[in-house]
Amino acid sequence: MSNLTNIARPYAKAAFDYAVEQKQLADWQQMLTFAAEVAKDPQMIAFLGSNSTAETQANLFNQVCADQLTQPVQNLIRLMAENKRLQALPEVLVHFAELKNDHEREVLVDVTSAKPLDAAAQEKLVAALSKRLERNVKLNCSVDPNVVGGMLMQAGDLVIDGSVRGKLDRLITTLQS
């Protein structure tokens, strides 16, 4: 997977730069999301792995996407097909979204708690995290009874473990040392 990550970065950066220049970030993200879903389809994966020519792959891919993609996105698909990189489209989307979030100073925080968070708790959490991370925060909340109490938050590489389970695990490690 890391190989696809390295392959995807320059395509994502080029697409992002073009989208910013054209003031079409949201449109490009929507089109790349659609193209990434097409690229994940099992039949498309099989076709992309076949010995078909780059032109055939690009034409079929763009036909499948039809009116969902603008000409510049279709050109990106063609370029990726010429370089045998269409399988990296889902990773291109991931990196594009990261660049977009950085540009818009937004961060998605995955929050896992033992019980569902009510609206007031979510607002309070957003305010605290926005202050700490100096970004606009969007929450992706989920429930996991194994957390026991508190919550586990992850924003990119940053992990804040305020769960009872995490505290117990750290206590056990300290006692065993």
Which pLDDT tens digit goes with each residue over 49-68? 888 898 999 999 989 988 89
Domains delineated in the chain: 2-101 (1.10.520.20), 105-176 (3.40.30)
Which pLDDT tens digit goes with each residue over 120-163? 999 999 999 999 888 889 899 999 988 888 899 998 788 888 88
| Structure-token pair, residue 72 | 């510049």
| Structure-token pair, residue 94 | 């991931």
Strand partners of residue 142: 112
User: Among residues of the chain, what percentage have pLDDT more than 90?
Assistant: 60
